[in-house]
Chain A
C-alpha cells in the first residue's frame, strides 16, 4: 500500500534562508508524487508533481523537489524563503490501484520569520 511520511511537523526558517521539507514515501508501484500547499482559509494548491519523467521537478514560486528512488524520498526545497511561503505543506502519493485517490502526509507547517 502507498503511504507518505513527512519527517517534520513544523519547520521554522528566517526570510532569505533555504527551505527543506522532508518526505519519504512507500509504494508498491512506480509512484506519482506531489507537493501541495495550503494557506490559512484557502484551498489546496499544487506546487509540483513527479510522474516518472525528470527526477528533479521544478514547481511554482521557486520550489523544487528531487525524486530519489534509492532513498524513497521526495524532499521539497527552495533556495530563499519569503514571508508569503508560510503555510502548511503536504507531500502526497497517488494511490496505486486506480491512481484516483491521493494519499496525504500529515503535513508540515512552515513558519518564516523576518
Chain B
C-alpha cells in the first residue's frame, strides 16, 4: 500500500506570495491532518479534515487554510507569506474511525517551504 505523499517536496517563495501544498493520504484513509515543524516551535498542529469538513483546528492565523476533496486528498494554503512561515509542513493520514483517540497517524515526507 502506498504511503502518504506530499507535493511539492521543496518550495521557495517570497514574502507576500501565497502557496498551496498538496497531500494524498493512504488509500482508504479519510482523515488528513497538517502540522508545521520549525526549529523554534517544534511540531505544531494546524488542522484536521474528515469527509471534506474541518474537524479540528490549531492556533494558527487565518492566513493558513485548507480543504479536503471527496477522494480525501487535501490541500493547504498559506496566503501573504511571512519569513516565519519557513518550515517543514507535514501531512498525516488516518482511517478516521470513531476511536480517534487511539488512531495511528501516518506521516508523509513533508514539504519544505523557504520564504525569502
Chain A interface (Cβ within 8 Å of chain B)? 29, 31-32, 34, 36, 42-46, 49, 51-52, 90, 94-107
Closest to B47 in A: A101
Contacts of B104 in A (CB 8 A): 34, 46, 49
CB within 8 Å for A98 and B90 given contacts A32-B102, A44-B107, A104-B42 = no
State the interface size on chain B (CB cutoff 8 A): 26
Chain B interface (Cβ within 8 Å of chain A)? 4, 31, 33, 35, 42-45, 48, 50, 55-56, 58, 90, 92, 100-110
The distance from the CB of A61 to the nearest CB of chain B, in whole angstroms, is 16
Q: Which of B42, B55, B56, B90 contacts A43 (CB 8 A)?
A: B90
Contact A100 B50 (CB under 8 A): yes
Contact B56 A102 (CB under 8 A): no
Closest to A53 in B: B102
CB within 8 Å for A32 and B101 given contacts A42-B109, A101-B33, A101-B58 = yes
Contact B105 A51 (CB under 8 A): no
CB within 8 Å for A102 and B33 given contacts A90-B43, A95-B45 = yes
Contacts of B45 in A (CB 8 A): 95, 101-103
